[in-house]
Chain A
């Protein structure tokens, strides 16, 4: 598979989740484990551009796939727009859910751009207006126990607004 643009090949126990493969075999520990059961979102990565929980999939199933993790977005000294917005808006406290929030938001913005509706969309066919309530519903698969939620959404919304303007 390709991870953050780099071809990686691994010889793994079939039981290895994509999450554990990333963390323990590729030593990409930016992706976090908060539950290992799809219940928190800390392990969110992009597979072929779409967000998924890397804990609930086998690494072996991703032969040939393109994986993007937090390390693939921007390094400490070269943050992308969304990462920088999280810092600016204080979209985290302990930082543990943060890589998952950022990856999820990246995927979510793509979904919204494709016009995917959400549970709170008043009209299923009327296009997506990323209000705070829409962002909140779409990001609800990412728990944050520090409860930085409003600030996370401010960060996402600032980037969404900028993107929409462009």
Chain B
């Protein structure tokens, strides 16, 4: 870890004032410090926003909720409004990391956690994300944890978050404060950039901008489900994960929204897949076709080719539970009409 200046701020104005291109915000610190110890990240200044009052609240907003950026992953998962209205989010959070980490990790930090690509994590290995133009040693390397969708020649890293996958399925918006104090919202697909030839630039967040909250729209009635497939029973990142919400009305699928983890360069959703599902009668064949649609663009190698089959099987299973074709298992929860 390189020496840095530690600055604690007590309000957003001084936070924005303290930020420049060589500084990083620290929230839970569970990702930033992990990477700073390895000098994968080496900011000159670390701006501690954890004492800014008010950012750790979950409050109603329109028909939905506004989740402050400093809300801890553990508290978010346990919040009664989330558990009843957005259980897929609770499930995704609870499937991630460990009890200790969830007690520290924050909403904003979780969204911005960086890839777990082992080549990114090791400064002895070339990585375009760490050092633009250095090359990608993941290509031709061990690819089990790498993405198969949205990747580029220069980067095959997967986004590791579970929470963000559920948020993507829930069509959450990210609230951002500009340096000048205005706030605006971005949909998640507009927030995360695909790697292209600049995998080091991961989001459209600009210098001096701060995530202040995540906004959830009104709950989707029906069964919500999160399924995470991983190499050990707990405390492991996803090989493949699927978050899905949908309503079934008169035997037809409505409001289908499916997102994927472990396979995409960002928390992955495919609007064509959602559109393909809507208005149709649920069946395993239908879900299989949706998977085919999703995976046509997949680029795999020997080490991660299994992810296409695994995604397909997971998608069929999850959608079968969400649409009532199959009995709900642990990970699927029903959201009723909210009074």
B131 to chain A, nearest CB (A): 21
Out of A51, A60, A123, A124, which one reaches B103, CB within 8 Å?
A51
A57 and B103 form a contact (CB under 8 A): no
Query: Does A8 count as interface, using CB distance less than 8 angstroms?
Result: no
Q: Give residues of chain B (1-49) contacting chain A, Cβ–Cβ below 8 Å.
A: 1, 3-6, 8, 26, 28-30, 33-34, 37, 46, 48
Q: Give residues of chain A (18-52) contacting chain B, Cβ–Cβ below 8 Å.
A: 36-38, 41, 44, 50-52
Measured between beta carbons, the chain B residues less than 8 angstroms from A5 are none
Measured between beta carbons, the chain A residues less than 8 angstroms from B296 are none
For the residues of B in contact with A, the DSSP-based class is mixed
The CA of A50 and the CA of B78, in the complex, are separated in Å by 14
Query: Does A119 count as interface, using CB distance less than 8 angstroms?
Result: yes
**In the complex with contacts A61-B50, A141-B98, A141-B235, A125-B80 CB distance below 8 A:** yes
The CA of A14 and the CA of B26, in the complex, are separated in Å by 13
A141 and B97 form a contact (CB under 8 A): yes
B330 and A53 form a contact (CB under 8 A): no
Of B87-95, B243-251, B283-291, the segment with at least 4 beta carbons within 8 Å of chain A is B87-95
A119 and B6 form a contact (CB under 8 A): no
B234 and A119 form a contact (CB under 8 A): yes
Q: What class of interface size applies to chain B in its complex with A? A: 35 or more
B84 and A125 form a contact (CB under 8 A): yes
**In the complex with contacts A56-B104, A61-B50, A119-B234, A37-B99 CB distance below 8 A:** no
The CA of A41 and the CA of B99, in the complex, are separated in Å by 10
Most buried by B among A52, A140, A143: A52
Out of A107, A122, A136, A141, which one reaches B330, CB within 8 Å?
A122
Of A66-74, A80-88, A91-99, A108-116, the segment with at least 4 beta carbons within 8 Å of chain B is A108-116
The CA of A37 and the CA of B100, in the complex, are separated in Å by 12
Q: Give residues of chain B (279-322) contacting chain A, Cβ–Cβ below 8 Å.
A: none
Out of B8, B37, B50, B233, which one reaches A140, CB within 8 Å?
B233
A interface residues with partner B (beta carbon < 8 Å): 13-15, 17, 36-38, 41, 44, 50-53, 56-58, 60-61, 63, 104, 107-108, 111, 114-125, 136-143
13 additional contacts, CB 8 Å, given A41-B100, A140-B233? Answer: A14-B3, A37-B34, A37-B37, A52-B104, A53-B101, A56-B30, A56-B33, A56-B34, A115-B78, A117-B94, A118-B94, A124-B91, A140-B98
Instruction: Please list 10 pairs of residues, one from A and one from B, whose beta carbons are closer than 8 Å in the complex, sorted by A's number.
Output: A14-B3, A51-B99, A53-B104, A56-B28, A118-B94, A119-B95, A124-B333, A140-B99, A141-B98, A141-B101
B interface residues with partner A (beta carbon < 8 Å): 1, 3-6, 8, 26, 28-30, 33-34, 37, 46, 48, 50, 74, 77-78, 80, 83-84, 87, 90-91, 94-95, 97-101, 103-104, 233-235, 330, 333
